[in-house]
Structure 1
Amino acid sequence: MSFVDTVTDRQNQIAVLAALATAATAFTLLAPLLQTDPMRERAKRVADYKENLRQQSRAEIAGKKSPTLRNAAAGGAAKSLVQQFKLLEVFDANAARARLTMAGFRGERPVVTYMAARVVMPVIMLIASAFYMYVLNVGELSNFMRLLITGGSPVLGFYLPNIYVTNAVQKRQQKVQLAFPDSLDLLLICVESGMSIEAALQKVTQEVAASSPELAEEYGLTTAELSYLSDRRIAYENLGKRTGLEGIKAVTTALIQCETYGTPLGSSLRVMAAENREMRMQEAEKKAAALPPKLTVPMILFFLPVLFVVILGPAVMTATGKGMESEETAPMDR
């Protein structure tokens, strides 16, 4: 019981929290010095992807077996676990790979890590909840509630990787959608000045790299695919699949039609840019319209009680004071 007493002791908990706060402060101060350049990392990923495409193109020309683009080895225990339990077949590896690509995680290593996490996290959550409920014995809960929490923790652990990936996809899509209409305007200017679509995409990639590295990475990958893939249609379709945004999919469809039927690219880009700006404005208006309902509950719980105390407090204090004075003067009148 000495270990349990040590863990549950209030002074020890305060000391641990103080140590964590100190470590967090030190990390906050040192993080800018240790942070790497994200643009350099994204440029390296695009260069690696371009090199893979170049090797695949040379292999196809030579008539050899085409190497896979996702040849990053994901060794270690995670890969052994995935292969042993055949998780790539159980959890639909293609769907997982597509979602991870939309979140910005490319290659085979994130897929293996994601599959292994869906198996390991339930076990970790079960052990942590059982240790917290039965060893530390924290909280005054009934045996049924302890059993319910312990039994429900693996379910939460199973869905935690999916929740994390979904959150990463949404954040990335928001960043891409915010900068996409402006990039279309830049692309329109480059195309109307006489540039080819590859040169225009390369120029736009350089211009939007500082404001939206995620969109710059997607444009860089598209430029590489346009240079090395045999079918340009696949390059445009991959751009829509990697982002998962309806506005970008509409633009890629227009680009495919321009490639196929020879329609003017400038007019199509001008219309698409206007539509995407309108979609961005509608999204902002939707968020503004949803703000009052979201503020209703916080106002009822936090603002209105304080407001009532400020308004009614002096009146209550005055009425209480008069009542006490009347009680004190009543015996004197008698």
Structure 2
Amino acid sequence: MMAERRESDEANTQADAALKASVIAVGGGKGGIGKTVVSACLAMALAEAGRQVVLVDGDLGGSNLNTVMGMQMPSKTIYDFFSRKIPNLSDLVIETPFSRLKMIAGAPGTLGMANIKHWEKLKIMRHITQLNAHYVVVDLGAGMSFNEIDFFNLANVGIVVANPEPPSLQECYNFIKVALLRRLRTLFSSNESVQEVLSGMDNNAYINETRPIFELIAEISRRDAEAGREVKIVVDDYRPYLLLNQLYDDSEKVEAYALRLAARDLLHVDVELMGTLPHSARIREAIQEMQPAGLYGNNLPVRRKLLEVVKKYFLASE
């Protein structure tokens, strides 16, 4: 009853929106990988390709997307939606310096924002899909909290960003592993056999193990054959994407294959390498100067690379 009362304001949503947005969640296992810049530039590439795009700051614990976009903190932030000061997420959409690209700002340093409840996540995802846009790009916070993992799993497309160094790739693999286990826990929340097997895996020790997931499926199947078959289908269908960022040399993309091999052999998950983005000193300067045009300049290889990603993975499937 309490959840029903909390969600009673869902009736007044953007039912008249002309478009139903496809949600792209951009996550990563650790900070310092350039995830927010990748999110912003991907949104710019989609907008340049002629699509209406909304960029959402989904880092509920330490948002800074407005800074990357060269914008001062607006008077309205996502906190106003969670506090019910503003009932519709669409009322938080603000213009950016880029044509066809709008944004919803986060609320840095707001107490409680990093620990929202699951029903609140479902609520905001419903509002996000009702935004009047072709695509909504959600820049998730760094790390593997339930906020980041749940938003990643609720999106239409989940992209994990990593650098071509072993620690970053290890964290990327851990992110995918945690996200997969969380998805199984959520989808099979009412199945006791599945929950009993998964209950021993919600700890750091298991995350760092190399036990293949087919052993988990076999254990579930011994307890409940039908559940085992259903779990295998979910695992087989789980398809996150990888963007390798800040490469000094194109040969560094070979590092991604080790991650893909581990995910395939241990998790039975096909992690497709969506693209590689070169390191750019100009991007760092643009962030320091709060000049977003410098993130996505005409002469930057990042722009060309992301336009290729947009054409192959988004426009081609429309």
> What is the TM-score of this pair, normalised by structure 1?
0.24
Bigger Rg, structure 1 or 2: 1
Task: From the two aligned structures, give the one with the greater strand fraction.
Answer: 2
Task: From the two aligned structures, give the one with the greater helix fraction.
Answer: 1
> What is the TM-score of this pair, normalised by structure 2?
0.25
Question: Which structure has the higher relative contact order (CA within 8 Å, separation 6+)?
Answer: 2
